[in-house]
Structure 1
Amino acid sequence: MRMISPIIFTVSLLLSSSCHAAVQDFCVADFTAPESPTGHACKKPETVTVNDFVYSGLGVAGNTSNLLKAAVTPAFVTEFPALNGLGISLARLDMAPGGVAPVHTHPGATEVVHVVSGKITAGFISGANKVYYKTLNKGDLIIFPQGLLHFLENAETTPAEAYFSFNSVSPGSQLVDFALFGNDFPTELVAATTFLDTAQIKKLKGALGGSG
């Protein structure tokens, strides 16, 4: 059997990509029009300028003076309309010493983390409940497969900075701690479904703003 030409293989990958750019150069989001399940409508080409393709929001460190001692600054389609239809987005993570990104998931996106300063311990939990984690140094990358629970922690005495990339313009996020303790999920049901002590649950609800 003949090998597939590398050029043909590459072209086939590009053609199989599903996005607005497959039929036009770009589709800068028009937030004045209704959003559909396939994304935002496109701005009229004559109204698009170079500024639509430039985003400077990741150049400023986030405020880490909070419970998590961490801050995520997104560059999703909402902040960067030129990403519309392209299937990519980014974010910046700033972590003070002791900072943490609690166990969470992005149901519709795979994530790549690139550490640019400091050290960050990062990992994910597979569907077989195996934990893969490692302390990352400057320049290291780690990938979190789509939908899997993952976490990050700065256990060092100096700040850390990292950047995320996603294969989605709006990856979404659900933090397990806030899903359990940051709302009105009844304490009795949380206890029954997690095997946690009710006193500890109420303590966590108090810290994370939950009730019930």
Structure 2
Amino acid sequence: MTVVLAACGGSTGKGGGSPSASVAPGGTGSSASAGQHNRADVAFAQGMIPHHRQAIDMADMAAEQASSGEVKALAAKIKKEQALEIDTMAAWLKSWGEQVPQGMSSMSGIGHGNPSAMPGMMSSHDMDQLKGASGKAFDTMFLNMMIKHHEGAVEMADAEKKQGAYGPAKAMAGDIVAGQSAEIAQMRAMLGGGSPSAGSS
């Protein structure tokens, strides 16, 4: 169970994770080892994987286009944490005999195959606008978009906490709610010219 939490990271400071973190959920055997799963667990993983992939795409843009060191550091932190979570969720889906989403499309009912229909997802137009921005304009656009994106992830994770049955998935959902809520507060402080204490970890 601790391996899964290490993979989640969030703002809890556990985000370092060992390489085994992304393998353990599937490699430790059947889903019964951590409790049975239900359709809500499948929908959570199949929806959150493409949601996280879009956040990573945005973070990759920040590495090249942001002017603020704080924005670049936050983007790198988001990419690291969410890549680990994608690996973990993909391992769950494989162990359950479910399809792992490719690209930005959800396999589940969340979004019905339309990425922008998932909570907090950016449209292709939004992503094109971000790609075309640079400097301080990029920083502001990135922070505003990532706040919306995180709010969507928190909404999806809240649903998993209420409806899911698989212990590790519910634990990850709790970490997403806590970690991304903290990052939302950090990004709002950055937009307001504040100096948030939560740096890259």
TM-score (norm 1): 0.22
TM-score (norm 2): 0.23
Structure with the greater relative contact order (CA < 8 A, sep ≥ 6): 1 or 2?
2
Flag the structure with higher strand content. Answer: 1
Flag the structure with higher helix content. Answer: 2
In terms of Rg, which structure is larger?
Answer: 1
